[in-house]
Structure 1
């Protein structure tokens, strides 16, 4: 039976280090890391996420700002808010909660955020720095960064000699995940929905990262015995056995079956999920250190 990688415990350890770094910055420079989250409209899931981010920012000792804009906000109005935050010296990290209402174009908004404040790691500048192996001045997308922390908890920081397969090629996760694994010296295969013999390729992986968006797509026979499995997917499905209208969460991996084959595996929920907001906090304190001319902490 595989070791369950406890994302909650690992996230709590990282948050403790972020808090220490935040306190140190305040003591040395009198600076409090500032995080601004911009949300447009009234999507319930987005508001839940934003509330969780604000709560975690306060736990880290940050100056936390939430800017809530009405659903009918125009592109120009939203971009004006981002420009003002770019110019606010007390704000070190800016996050625009996605998805935006349909009438808004998210791409120019994200690219408008100054790269040094882009704590989501989504700007083309930060993506380019990651592709070039610049880990010292760029900011890394939060979910892949958190997934790497989980992988390091099993394998350490040097993945030399290990085969890694990433199923999924999105700009948000798959591509940066592949880059991070490559920079840790893994031999990396990028796979996706059009990959031929996908199950066969997955079964050769020492580290298998699933980001397909399809519940339980990855079966036990896709998993090499003893492999480390990182399940990034999260799908809410009906669970009538729990009562009328109840649901449960599934990952991209058939967890019950794969757990019997893998060496280590992330559960859903409680695996990758807690790491995403955690690495957002880490990126914010990193950005605050850099803005004040200090060597940034590593997490």
Structure 2
């Protein structure tokens, strides 16, 4: 009986030690996994009175409805479609904003990127744009952006990398989808369909910066984040009308850095942000039919 008791103790001791080791191993693995918050109604499955739950649209019935539910879904039963409509000769822009009042979603993590799936029809080079703005109180501390003018009838994944301007954790995120015209006006028939939004890993950047002799490219400003001045570099492949402007998170233009016809070549502009408050900004290069947007952060 004593021998049996001793073996049992050894077995129990081994089992307990192994259990603690296994739990420690699992916790170590879990500590390396990035956890992200869930986006509200990310697959646009829930709708009420013609609008997606917890999202604000540009719908204004009965005058016009340009955001609708569609069964052309990437997964599940439904997706969201936004289409430019014309009323009395005026093209009505399409926009979708997170939160039923457009005030955003609660957010207490620092995701690396927003992923989603889309289809897009671009008329006259209209732009499909995705934007994210992360706030701590009233202060912008991070932002992300994706844009394209390329039409696609197949489900295509977009990834909007997020740039953080501080080490703080946000308390809300504003996510927006919209169509923009390269000349300021959107065109009837341009439309997007979106589905299956989720936070995920970022993708490597810099691919568009390796441009050929006839391409347009916009490089990331340096330094970034920056206190007062930063340098923005871009390349023009052929003579064309060029505009380089800076916008705040509300889409308001705050500075025009270049506007006019430019010859092919590499350009460098020093941007002085001393008149702007701390925060996250977009800078957009329009050269002919090409549009490029990047994010920069002003810190004080």
Pairwise TM-score range, normalised by the shorter structure:
under 0.3
Q: TM-score, normalised by structure 1?
A: 0.25
Of structures 1 and 2, the one with the larger relative CO (CA 8 A, separation 6+) is: 1
More helix by share: 1
More strand by share: 2
> Which structure has the larger Rg?
2
